[in-house]
């Protein structure tokens, strides 16, 4: 049975896509990304870009990025070891994909600064969820594009997909900082 929060977020499933948006992962994609790095980053490379560890690291790999256009494409392999895994769903609620999106955005900052991207999510808006559950054994593709940068506040458009089907779309607003003291006492792992 799908939990109440996941069920309430599913909505009608109808989506309006602006016709000027270029595809990244499939035709009619929500995120406008120009790619071309050709570099896959995983394991230790991810740990060098993100402050998240253990159960809270919700990216398996970066499959492409473009620092000029501030875009990234990443993947997360859903496993039964995931901190958010629910045996009743045999997966995780799709609303967790917003954290995958946020970590992908943090990875852009990490790539630019050559150190972990530190930030706080200020808002998640326009969240649309088309599939309520991300099943164990599947791989979610995440595409993120920076829309606006005003000093330390960034707005991103993000999308998560399973195969060619959309899972979730959202806009994220993030406050980025290099001041690690902002995070004193914070936990970036699942234990």
Q: Can you give the pLDDT of all 191 residues of the chain as single tens digits?
A: 333 333 333 333 323 222 222 233 333 344 444 455 567 888 788 888 887 777 788 899 999 999 899 999 999 999 999 999 999 999 999 999 999 999 999 888 888 877 776 788 899 999 999 999 999 999 999 999 999 999 889 999 999 999 878 999 999 999 987 777 766 666 554 54
Q: Report d(CA 68, CA 175) in Å as an integer.
A: 20
Q: Give the right CATH number for 4-11+22-180 from 2.30.29.30, 3.40.1800.10, 1.10.10.10, 3.10.129.10.
A: 3.10.129.10
Radius of gyration (C-alpha) of the chain in whole angstroms = 16
Please check whether residue 94 is in contact with residue 167, taking contact to mean a CB–CB distance below 8 angstroms. yes
User: What residue ranges do the domains of the chain occupy?
Assistant: 4-11+22-180
pTM above 0.85, yes or no: no
The DSSP result for 119-163, as a single string, is: EEEEEEEEEEES-SEEETT-EEEEEEEEEEEETTEEEEEEEEEET
H-helix or E-strand spanning residue 37 = none
């Amino acid at each position: 049975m799908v939990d109440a929060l996941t069920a309430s977020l599913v909505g009608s499933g109808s989506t309006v896509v602006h016709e000027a948006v270029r595809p990244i992962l499939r035709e009619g994609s929500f995120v406008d990304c120009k790619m071309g790095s050709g570099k896959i980053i995983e394991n230790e490379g991810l740990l060098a870009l993100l402050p998240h560890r253990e159960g809270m690291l919700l990216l398996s790999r970066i499959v492409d990025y473009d620092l000029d256009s501030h875009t990234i494409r990443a993947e997360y392999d859903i496993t039964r070891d995931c901190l958010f895994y629910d045996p009743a769903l045999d997966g995780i609620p799709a609303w967790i994909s917003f954290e995958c999106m946020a970590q992908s955005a943090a990875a852009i900052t990490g790539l630019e600064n050559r150190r972990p991207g530190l930030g706080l999510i200020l808002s998640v808006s326009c969240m649309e969820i088309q599939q309520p559950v991300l099943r164990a054994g599947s791989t979610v593709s995440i595409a993120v594009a920076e829309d606006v940068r005003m000093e330390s506040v960034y707005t991103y458009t993000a999308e998560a997909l399973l195969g060619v089907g959309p899972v979730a779309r959202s806009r994220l607003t993030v406050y980025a900082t290099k001041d690690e003291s902002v995070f004193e006492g914070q936990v970036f792992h699942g234990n």
